[in-house]
Structure 1
Amino acid sequence: MTEEAQPTTLWVERTGTRRYTGKSSRGAEVLVGSQDVDGVFTPGELLKIALAACTGMSSDFPLSRRLGDNYDATVRVSGDADRENETYPKLDEVLALDLSELDDAARDRLLTTVARAVDKVCTVGRTLKAGTEVSLTFDVDS
């Protein structure tokens, strides 16, 4: 009988004025705060990083299969916030790769395969494109 993996629990704890530490039950931590605080990510930056990381991870298998396990890749993500509506209306990603060893046809086939993989399995990108319902409840001491 196989043991089912328990879902990771995520939370943030307040550590100061507009400063939080994000934590996971797997022991990971990330510092979160406002843009004027050094050494932290803003929540919006984490959203963008999550998208870029998801794109990178989703493209890893087709790229490593064609380029080998030691290929270099950088996923840059950008997009300005609409502060009136507190949203990011558009996020732009650039996946930087060295494909100079491939001919044009092989490069085009690989990029098509990578785009399909990202569209199919990048949960963060798929969620952002589809929209999602978010609920907030309160657990308060009375």
Structure 2
Amino acid sequence: MAEQTSDTPATTSLWVERTGTRRYTGRSSRGAEVLIGSEGVEGVFTPGELLKIALAACSGMSSDFPLSRRLGDNYDATIRVSGAADRENEVYPQLDEVLELDLSELDAAAQERLVALVERSIDKVCTVGRTLKTGTKVTLTIESDA
């Protein structure tokens, strides 16, 4: 039931369980849950929305250290991510992120240096973004009780 992925520690398992027609609950062995379903269902994320949120969260976490070092631990940040699906091919051909920050306390040169540092940090350590940019092999095994 629980599937181990190569990018999670050996102690963390991830899986989804079907809870209804086109409705699932994603779970981790650490106790986290996320509701997943079709676009027309209230209170759930679609798989594509989760992909986008994973990208934005990864960028945020990858930029957290350099930003907190320069702006302080209590800086505010919002990362918006968008991208329309190509339904003919069932892919997202482009995802666009916007990192919203208040850099008004820095002069123009310091802003430019910080933006460059944040971009490098995200490019270097955001596993989700790096995976999406380079692609990855996905395998599926189907197991039956029969």
Instruction: Using structure 2 for the length normalisation, give the TM-score.
Output: 0.93
User: Could you tell me which of 97, 103, 109 is aligned with 2:101?
Assistant: 97
User: Could you tell me which of 88, 113, 116 is aligned with 1:112?
Assistant: 116
Paired residue for 2:41? 37
For 1:9 and 1:23, how far apart are their aligned partners in 2?
8
For 2:84 and 2:11, how far apart are their aligned partners in 1?
32
For 1:27 and 1:6, how far apart are their aligned partners in 2?
15
Post-superposition offset of 1:70 = 0.1
For 1:58 and 1:75, how far apart are their aligned partners in 2?
12
Trace 1:1-142 onto structure 2 (pairs within 5 A): 6-142=10-146
What amino acid is aligned across from residue 96 of structure 2 in structure 1? D
Aligned residues: 138
For 2:46 and 2:143, how far apart are their aligned partners in 1?
25
For 2:128 and 2:51, how far apart are their aligned partners in 1?
9
Post-superposition offset of 1:8 = 1.2
Instruction: Using structure 1 for the length normalisation, give the TM-score.
Output: 0.96
For 2:11 and 2:139, how far apart are their aligned partners in 1?
19
Where do 5+ consecutive residues of structure 2 fail to align?
Answer: 1-8
Post-superposition offset of 1:7 = 3.7
Post-superposition offset of 1:139 = 1.1
Instruction: Find runs of 4+ consecutive structure 1 residues off by over 6 angstroms.
Output: none
**1:38-79 deviation per Cα after TM superposition (whole angstroms, max 9, x unaligned):** 000000000000000000000000000000000000000000
Query: Secondary structure of the equivalent of 1:119?
Result: helix
Where do 5+ consecutive residues of structure 1 fail to align?
Answer: none
For 2:25 and 2:33, how far apart are their aligned partners in 1?
7
What amino acid is aligned across from residue 124 of structure 2 in structure 1? K
What amino acid is aligned across from residue 31 of structure 1 in structure 2? L
For 1:81 and 1:137, how far apart are their aligned partners in 2?
26
For 1:46 and 1:7, how far apart are their aligned partners in 2?
22
Give RMSD over aligned pairs: 0.7
